[in-house]
Amino acid sequence: MQMVKRIFKYLGIGILLLLTVMLVNTLLQSKPEFNKTTVNTQDLLKDGFLRYSESIRFRVIGHDDAVTNIEQNKSELQRFHAWMRKSYPILAKTARWETINGGSLLITIKGKNTGPAAMFLGHLDVVPADDSTLWKYPPFEGEIIGDTLWGRGTLDDKNAVIALLEAAERMLAKGQQPKNSIILAFGQDEETGGAEGAAHIQKHLLNNKIPISFIADEGFGVMKGIVPGLANDCAIIGLAEKGNLTLKLTVEIPGGHSAWPHPENTTSVLANALSKIENYQFPAKLEGPVKGLFAESAPYMNFGYKFLFSNLTITAPLVKSVLTNGVKTAASIRTTHVTTVIQAGSKENVVPPAAQALINFRTVPNHSSEEIIEQIKSLVNDDRIQISKFQGAIESSPISPSEGIGINEIKKAIHATFPKTVAVPGLVITGTDCKNYTKLTPRIYRFVPYTFSNHNLSGIHGRNEYVTIQQFTAAVGYYEYLFGLL
Ligand SMILES: [Zn+2]
C-alpha cells in the first residue's frame, strides 16, 4: 500500500513538473510587435484594374487534351503577348522579352549588378469555365461591378501576372533599377502540367547559364481564419508541395456466364484489394513546413492553442488527432489516397475477364513513389493483382530553406503591406509550376500577395471567380516594395 502511495506521489510530482515546463515554454513565447505598414494601399489603382479586366478576355484554356491546347491557344497567346507589350510600354522598351516555345514569356529586367536574378512566376492559361451560363457574370468578359472584377483567372493566375507587370512598369517609370536582375516567367500550360511552358523555360535558363537566387510562385496567399486559435491574418509561404502518383491495379481471371459464377472473380478480387487500401491511412506526421506553421504562429495564438503548439514535442499526438479531423488539414500532414476510377464488365450477365482501378496518391515530402508502391503491394498481398504506375509520377518537392535570401525579403514585403499579419511556412497540397523549376535553385517560395477569404477560394477552379480592387492594389504595392529590396 505504502509503495502504491509513493508511486502516485512521484507520478503526481512528475506531471506537475511537466506542466510547469510546458507553461513556462508557453509564457516564453513572447509576441513580437508588428512593424507599421509602409506600402500605400489606399490610393486605388483604377487604370491597372482596367488592364486586369482586359487580360481576362484572353482565353488561353487548359483542357486535358494537350493537342487541342497547343493548337487552340497558339494565336490567343500571341495576342496576349502583344497586348502586354502595348499595355506596359516602359517595360516593353526597357526589359528583354523572349518568347519560349511559341507561347511562354520570359521578361528580364536587367539589374545594376551581375548577381543571381530573382524570378517571379505566373501562368497565362486558365481552367475551362464549362458552366459559364451558371456564372453571375460571363467568365471571359472581365466585367467590373463596383469594386469587384469577375472572371476566370482573376485569382488563378492573372492576379499574379498583372500585379507583377504593373509593379515592374511603376518601378521603371520612377527610373529605378533593381540591384540584381528580376525575371518574370509566364508559362503557357500550368493547368495541364507545364511541359510546354515551365519545363522549356527551365531548360532555356539552364542552357544559357542564368543563375537564379530564388523563385516566387503561386501556392498560398494571406489567409483569413484558417489557422486554429489565430485571430490575425496569416501569410503562408509554401516551402514545399506534395507529389502526385496514380497507381493502376489490374486483375485478369477468365470470366464466364454470370449464372454459375466462380467465387473468386475479377471484381471480387479487386473489390477486396480496394477495401484493404481504402481502410488504410498513411501515418500522420507533424514535421517540416507544417510543423513550422504551427510553431511560428504559436506566439500569436490565444492561450489554449499557444499552450498546445508551443509544446509540440509532448502535444504532437493530440494535435495530429485534431488535424486529421478536417479533410484539408489532414491532407497537409499525411500522404492521402483515393480510388478515382473503377472499370470492369460491359454486359450484365457476363463475368468480366478483367477489372482495373486507379488510385490517386498525394505524397508528403520525403515519401517517394517507390516506397508507396512497396507499401501498397504488401498491404494488398495478392499475386493476382498487378500494381503499376499510371502515367508519370510527380515526386513531392524538396523543402526550401525557411530563412535567408528570398524568404527574408518576402517576409519584409508582407509586413510592409499587410497590417498585423503573421508570416509562416506551409506545405502546398495541390501542384504548381514550381515542380518544373527545381534545377534552378533550392529556394522556391509559393506565395502570392492576395488576401483570400473562404468565399474567394471557392471561385478558384470553381464558379464566380472574383477579385476586388483593394486586393489588387495591395498586391501591386507588395511587388513594388519587394522589387525595391532586390
Ligand atoms: Zn494557378
First to last CA, the chain: 72
Tell me, in angstroms, the distance from the centre of ligand 1 to residue 125's CA. Answer: 8
Give every CB contact of residue 422 below 8 A, 6+ residues apart in sequence.
230, 232, 233, 234, 235, 296, 297, 300
**Separation of alpha carbons 17 and 346, rounded Å:** 67
Looking at 166, 169, 189, 190, which residue is catalytic? Answer: 190
Which SS3 state, helix, strand or coil, does residue 92 take? helix
**Does 7 score more than 80 pLDDT?**
no
pLDDT one-digit tens code per residue, 172-218: 999 999 999 999 999 999 998 898 999 999 999 999 999 999 999 99
**Separation of alpha carbons 337 and 359, rounded Å:** 7
- Confidence category of residue 92, pLDDT binned at 50, 70, 90: very high
- Residue 458 is predicted with a pLDDT of 78
**Does 142 score more than 90 pLDDT?**
yes
**Does 58 score more than 70 pLDDT?**
yes
For the question of whether the overall pTM of this predicted structure is more than 0.75, the answer is yes
**Separation of alpha carbons 202 and 439, rounded Å:** 8
- Confidence category of residue 13, pLDDT binned at 50, 70, 90: confident
Tell me, in angstroms, the distance from the centre of ligand 1 to residue 191's CA. Answer: 7
| Domain residue ranges of the chain, discontinuous segments joined by + | 46-236+400-485, 241-389
With b meaning 16 or more CB within 10 Å and e meaning fewer, what string describes 449-461? bbbbeeebbebbb
- Residue 95 is predicted with a pLDDT of 97
Average pLDDT over residues 94-109: 96
167-54-451 Cα angle (round to 5):
50
User: Do the beta carbons of residue 242 and residue 428 sit within 8 Å?
Assistant: yes
Tell me, in angstroms, the distance from the centre of ligand 1 to residue 467's CA. Answer: 15
Tell me, in angstroms, the distance from the centre of ligand 1 to residue 158's CA. Answer: 9
**Separation of alpha carbons 26 and 445, rounded Å:** 29
Tell me, in angstroms, the distance from the centre of ligand 1 to residue 243's CA. Answer: 16
Report cis status (omega within 30 of 0) of the bond before 157. Answer: yes
Tell me, in angstroms, the distance from the centre of ligand 1 to residue 105's CA. Answer: 16
Tell me, in angstroms, the distance from the centre of ligand 1 to residue 395's CA. Answer: 19
User: Do the beta carbons of residue 400 and residue 213 sit within 8 Å?
Assistant: no
Tell me, in angstroms, the distance from the centre of ligand 1 to residue 62's CA. Answer: 11
- Residue 1 is predicted with a pLDDT of 64
pLDDT one-digit tens code per residue, 111-135: 999 999 999 999 999 999 988 889 9
**Separation of alpha carbons 40 and 50, rounded Å:** 19
Does the domain at 46-236+400-485 match CATH 3.40.630.10? Answer given as: yes
User: Do the beta carbons of residue 191 and residue 127 sit within 8 Å?
Assistant: yes
- Confidence category of residue 68, pLDDT binned at 50, 70, 90: low
Contacts within 8 Å (CB) and 24+ apart, 42-50? 43/473, 44/147, 44/469, 44/470, 44/473, 45/166, 45/469, 45/472, 45/473, 45/476, 46/469, 48/162, 48/166, 48/472, 48/473, 48/476, 49/144, 49/149, 49/469, 49/472, 50/144
- Residue 4 is predicted with a pLDDT of 66
- Residue 341 is predicted with a pLDDT of 94
- Residue entry with cell 501556392: 219
User: Do the beta carbons of residue 246 and residue 389 sit within 8 Å?
Assistant: yes
- Residue 391 is predicted with a pLDDT of 85
**Separation of alpha carbons 219 and 161, rounded Å:** 14
48-57, 64-73, 438-447: which range is least confident on average? 64-73
CATH for 241-389 (3.30.70.360, 1.10.3720.10, 3.30.420.40, 3.40.50.300)? 3.30.70.360
Tell me, in angstroms, the distance from the centre of ligand 1 to residue 127's CA. Answer: 9
Closest CA to 476 of 160, 95, 217: 160
**Separation of alpha carbons 443 and 194, rounded Å:** 19
pLDDT one-digit tens code per residue, 369-419: 999 999 999 999 999 999 999 988 999 999 999 999 999 999 999 999 999
pLDDT one-digit tens code per residue, 232-290: 999 999 999 999 999 999 999 999 899 998 889 999 999 999 999 999 999 999 999 99
- Residue entry with cell 529590396: 485
Tell me, in angstroms, the distance from the centre of ligand 1 to residue 9's CA. Answer: 59
Looking at 76, 125, 395, 480, which residue is catalytic? Answer: 125
pLDDT one-digit tens code per residue, 146-164: 999 999 999 999 999 999 9
Tell me, in angstroms, the distance from the centre of ligand 1 to residue 109's CA. Answer: 23
Decide if 190 is catalytic: yes
Closest CA to 158 of 471, 481, 412: 471
User: Do the beta carbons of residue 247 and residue 300 sit within 8 Å?
Assistant: no
Tell me, in angstroms, the distance from the centre of ligand 1 to residue 60's CA. Answer: 13
Average pLDDT over residues 76-101: 97
**Separation of alpha carbons 186 and 17, rounded Å:** 56
